[in-house]
Chains A and B, each alone.
Chain A
């Protein structure tokens, strides 16, 4: 079975500073990788996804992530955060042959301070 670990439960960051959210996964088979953002009392919005091809993936709102197969990581980065980036971020994986059933990491709460 696959699993996802988000190493940081909370990340405080100042406005306009860069941020990196770490995600590691384990799986014996090929996976798709995703990052989602959740604002309070809302569902999830897809930030970006890695399916195949280039390991550097660019998403919405200035976010990007890099797939590193050897380190089984899919870290999310943004060079300059805004107050509006304050939210919960979830890394998720799905097995290519398993009907896209997602397994989520524990989430990282980003708090952007002015």
Chain B
């Protein structure tokens, strides 16, 4: 299947700093990528839909100024957690939609953010 790569896998930062997480589709072009957040032992919650060349669409309750999403190319979307605080600590997972009628989603390995 298609490969989606996230970087970094782990990141620890100080409160107040910003952190950027990258999501790359390695062997296909993805016009749409999705960003999810997962708290420990919980399900995935969709944060936003990232469309190449346009603004991201955020889910209700997600602060767009807090979680900046950029999808500048067909193979790369980035999520920047700005002015991070301990409550932003979480597992962030991206997925990219393949082509075809069903547009199967392929998931990255996830990025664990710990804010001290």
Complex: how many Å from CA A105 to CA B110? 18
A53 within 8 A of B: no
CB contacts (< 8 Å) of A105 on chain B: these are 43
Complex: how many Å from CA A110 to CA B111? 23
Q: A51-B102, A100-B97 are in contact. Are A44 and B42 (CB under 8 A)?
A: no
Whether the Cβ atoms of A90 and B1 lie closer than 8 Å is no
Complex: how many Å from CA A107 to CA B4? 22
B49 within 8 A of A: yes
Whether the Cβ atoms of A100 and B44 lie closer than 8 Å is no
Complex: how many Å from CA A7 to CA B24? 34
CB contacts (< 8 Å) of A32 on chain B: these are 102
Partner of B103 from A36, A46, A100, A109 at Cβ < 8 Å: A100
Complex: how many Å from CA A8 to CA B32? 32
Whether the Cβ atoms of B34 and A102 lie closer than 8 Å is yes
CB contacts (< 8 Å) of B105 on chain A: these are 46, 100, 102
Partner of B110 from A43, A106, A107 at Cβ < 8 Å: A43
B104 within 8 A of A: yes
Within 8 A of A (CB), among B47-84: 49
How many chain B residues touch the partner (CB < 8 A)?
27
* 0/1 interface trace, chain A 8-37, chain B, CB 8 Å (1 if under): 000000000000000000000000100010
Q: Determine the residue in chain A with the shortest Cβ distance to B102.
A: A51
Q: Determine the residue in chain A with the shortest Cβ distance to B10.
A: A41
Least Cβ–Cβ distance between A42 and chain B, in angstroms: 6
Partner of B104 from A42, A46, A107 at Cβ < 8 Å: A46
A114 within 8 A of B: no
Complex: how many Å from CA A32 to CA B104? 10
Q: A32-B102, A100-B97, A101-B46 are in contact. Are A45 and B107 (CB under 8 A)?
A: yes
Whether the Cβ atoms of B112 and A100 lie closer than 8 Å is no
Partner of B107 from A44, A99, A100, A109 at Cβ < 8 Å: A44
Least Cβ–Cβ distance between B100 and chain A, in angstroms: 10
